[in-house]
Chains A and B, each alone.
Chain A
Amino acid sequence: MQELVLTQQGSTPRSATDAQRLESEAATREAFESHLTECGPLAFRVARGVLRNTADAEDVAQEALLRAFRRFKHLRERDRFRGWLVRITFRLALDRARSAKRREQRETLWSRPERQPPAPTAEDLAARSQFAQRLDRALDELPEKLRLVLLLSAMQGHTLEEVAVLLGVPLGTVKSRLFLARKQLAAKLR
């Protein structure tokens, strides 16, 4: 069957292009995989820091990683990839949190009492201390730039220098934002 009707003249350029394309695809896949293994958890943590919910955070981080994959040819360099991923994840998580809040407000306004979500049980409350709940609210009220610096610097293994690289801002800017964030947070929790 190999020598059948379809012997095509001049097909070499196409197959050469195909081979090059396959080779470059394999290289891209390998490079992306190494970034994914390293930065997937980072994206998740950023999203969870905003949403405080594992399932939602995984959804958002996955979306951010897919977007990173689509733009990967511009993001091959490690620091660039990490910085871009952190920013897009944070943005997506904020959007998600806002739309969840809007939905919650709508439901509270329009739903009858019997349709409202059940009040948290004693176990739920025990699981999250009162202080932690107050901190969540205080975090949500922080300006976005301050909140992101606070989250990134609270992640294990992140020095302030690394946060500066991630955000593409000078170290001094990170320090001053962090200082402001902590002061504002403490003022809300005092």
Chain B
Amino acid sequence: MSCEAYRPKLIEAAAMPAELNAALQEHLDGCASCRELHAKERSLFVAIDAALSSVANGESTPSFLPRVRAAIEQERAASVASHSRFVLWPVAAAAIAAVAVLFVVFQRIPPQQQTASQLAASSSATTPATGSATSSSTNSAADSETGEIASESKVAQREIASYGVGKPRSFSTLAKSEGRIESSQMPDVLVPPDERIALAKFVAALPRRHEIAVALTKPALAAPSADVLSTPLEIAELKLEPLSPEQAPSEAK
């Protein structure tokens, strides 16, 4: 076979290094020009492999994976938020309805002894948080909720004005005294005077803060009582027996 016939085979052999077949090896042993060509092709592929290895094995910067993690975390948070908006819509709607009901109830209660302005003044004097919120223009820009708080606190002050700041009163007591709402319809919540603005602000913020509403509406975990788990006290002279279930309620009283 001529050199021309061997050359394509030589190039292929250089491209995919493998054992040369016997006939080709025999030709190379006896043909200097084909040997030279084969060596040249081999060195070309050595250079190609070195360059390819440098192209294919680059190292990323140390910040690459942390940046990917951060981007994924951001995306996950966004998807959780949109999920919450969808799933928690009934909760949000219920919270809005509750605020609306409270607002209507307070609106219908006539103002008592003190005027709204007096009450606002006294409440801002006793509750620093409200004072700073109402003078929101002087607050730092970092507090982006200031504007909202200011408007909420106006509502809160109106609510306070409508049922007065004296001794703590409960919503239900107030409503019952007005004779408009059955006791079973209103929950019994005692609100000290200096916490009324905070409560009103909290209730007003619920429609926007789903997670708070969810946390509040979740039932407490049914954890076993510590009393049940404790071992009876052991004193050498005095043997204490655990109460039998029948005795327990009467003894507890």
Select which of A54, A154, A186 is within 8 A of B53 by beta carbon.
Answer: A154
Within 8 A of A (CB), among B172-230: 187, 189, 203, 213-214, 216-220
Give the distance to chain A from B211, nearest Cβ to Cβ, in Å. Answer: 11
Select which of A6, A57, A69, A150 is within 8 A of B58 by beta carbon.
Answer: A57
Known: A186-B41, A186-B45. A62 touches B68 (CB 8 A): yes
Q: Interface code A1-12, partner B: CB below 8 Å = 1, 0 otherwise?
A: 110111110011
Among A8, A57, A156, max chain B CB count under 10 A is at A8
Q: Which size class do B's interface residues fall under?
A: 35 or more
Residues of A within 8 A of B220 (CB): 2
Select which of A5, A8, A48, A179 is within 8 A of B16 by beta carbon.
Answer: A179
How many residue pairs at the A-B interface have CB separations less than 8 Å? 130
Q: Interface code A28-42, partner B: CB below 8 Å = 1, 0 otherwise?
A: 010011001100110
Q: Interface code A88-103, partner B: CB below 8 Å = 1, 0 otherwise?
A: 0000000000000000
A69 to B53, CA, bound (A): 29
Among B59, B95, B217, max chain A CB count under 10 A is at B217
Indicate whether A189 reaches chain B with its CB closer than 8 angstroms: yes
A161 to B30, CA, bound (A): 37
11 more contacts with CB within 8 A, not counting A182-B16, A190-B44, are A2-B220, A36-B72, A37-B65, A41-B60, A44-B58, A44-B64, A69-B75, A131-B47, A154-B55, A155-B56, A156-B57
Q: A-side interface residues toward B, CB under 8 Å?
A: 1-2, 4-8, 11-12, 15, 18, 25, 29, 32-33, 36-37, 40-41, 44-45, 48-49, 52, 54, 57-58, 61-62, 65-66, 69-70, 131-132, 135-136, 139, 150-152, 154-156, 175, 178-179, 182-183, 185-186, 189-190
Which 9 A-B pairs rank lowest in CB-CB distance, beginning with the nearest? Answer: A154-B56, A8-B217, A154-B52, A48-B58, A44-B60, A182-B15, A135-B51, A6-B216, A155-B56
